[in-house]
Structure 1
Amino acid sequence: MTITEQPFRGWSPEAVVFDCDGTLMDTEEHWQDARRRAFREFGLRPAPGFAERAKGVHYLDCGRMMAEEADKAHLAPELTESLLAHFMERVAEDPVTMPGAAEFVRSLSGRLPLAVASNCPLAVVERSLERAGLLSHFGHIVVPGDPGPTGATTGNTGGGTTGSTDGGTLIRPKPWPDVYATAARLCGARSERTLAVEDSLTGIESARRAGLRVVGVGDRPADGRADTVDLWVPTLNAPELLELDWVRPG
Structure 2
Amino acid sequence: MTIEAVVFDLDGVIIDTEEVWEEVRRAYVAEHGREFLPDSQDRMMGMSTAEWSGHLADEVGVPLPAARVAADVLGRMAARYRESLPLIPGAVETVRALGKRYRLALASSSARILIDQVLETAGLTGEFEVTLSTEEVARGKPAPDVYLTAVAKLGLTPEVCAAVEDSSNGLRAAGAAGLAVIAVPHGVYPPAPDALAQAALVVGAVTEVTPEAVGALR
Say whether the fold is shared (TM-score over 0.5): yes
Residue of structure 2 equivalent to 1:67 = 57
Aligned to 1:232: 202
User: Residue by residue, what CA displacement relative to the aligned partner does 1:197-226 show, whole Å, maximum 9, x if unpaired?
Assistant: 111111122212221110011245364431
- Whole-angstrom distance in 1 between the partners of 2:67 and 2:127: 34
Structure 1 unaligned runs (5+)? 1-10, 146-151, 153-169
Q: CA deviation at 1:75?
A: 4.3
Q: State the one-letter code of the partner of 2:148.
A: A
Cα shift at 1:121: 1.7
For residues 181 and 76 of structure 1, the distance between their equivalents in structure 2, rounded to whole angstroms, comes to 27
Task: Read off the aligned partner of 2:144 and give its amino acid letter.
Answer: P
Counterpart CA distance in 1 for 2:85 and 2:215 is 26
**In 2: Cα distance, 1:112 partner to 1:87 partner:** 31
Does the CA contact (< 8 Å) of 2:97 and 2:210 recur in 1? no
Contact 1:12–1:246 (8 Å) recurs in 2: no
Counterpart check, 1:137 vs 2:127: yes
Q: CA deviation at 1:16?
A: 0.5
Matches within 5 A, 1:15-164: 15-72=5-62, 75-145=65-135, 152=136
Match of 1:182 among 133, 143, 149: 149
| Equivalent pair of 1:108/1:247 in contact (CA under 8 Å) | no
TM-score (norm 1): 0.76
**Maintained 8 Å contact 1:144/1:172:** yes
Unaligned runs of 5+ in 2: none
CA distance in structure 2 between the partners assigned to 1:71 and 1:237 by the alignment: 40
Q: Does 1:244 align with 2:212?
A: yes
Residue 62 of structure 1, CA deviation? 1.2
Q: Contact conserved, 1:15 with 1:194, CA < 8 A, in 2?
A: yes
Amino acid at match of 2:30: R
TM-aligned CA distance change 1:124 to 1:192, over 3 Å: same
> For residues 157 and 212 of structure 2, what CA distance do their matches in structure 1 show?
20
Residue 218 (1) aligns with residue 188 (2): no
Question: Aligned pair in 2 of structure 1 residues 247, 54: CA closer, same or farther (>3 Å)?
Answer: same
- Cα distance in 2 for partners of 1:204, 1:98 equals 19
TM-score, normalised with respect to structure 2: 0.86
Q: Which has the larger radius of gyration?
A: 1
Pairs aligned (count): 213
Counterpart Cα distance in 1 of 2:170 and 2:192? 17
Name the one with the larger helix percent: 2
Q: Is the 8 A contact 1:27 1:91 kept in 2?
A: no
Displacement of 1:185 in angstroms is: 2.1
Identity within the alignment, %: 33
Q: Residue 94 of structure 2: SS of its match in structure 1?
A: helix
Q: What SS does the aligned partner of 1:225 have? A: helix
RMSD: 2.4
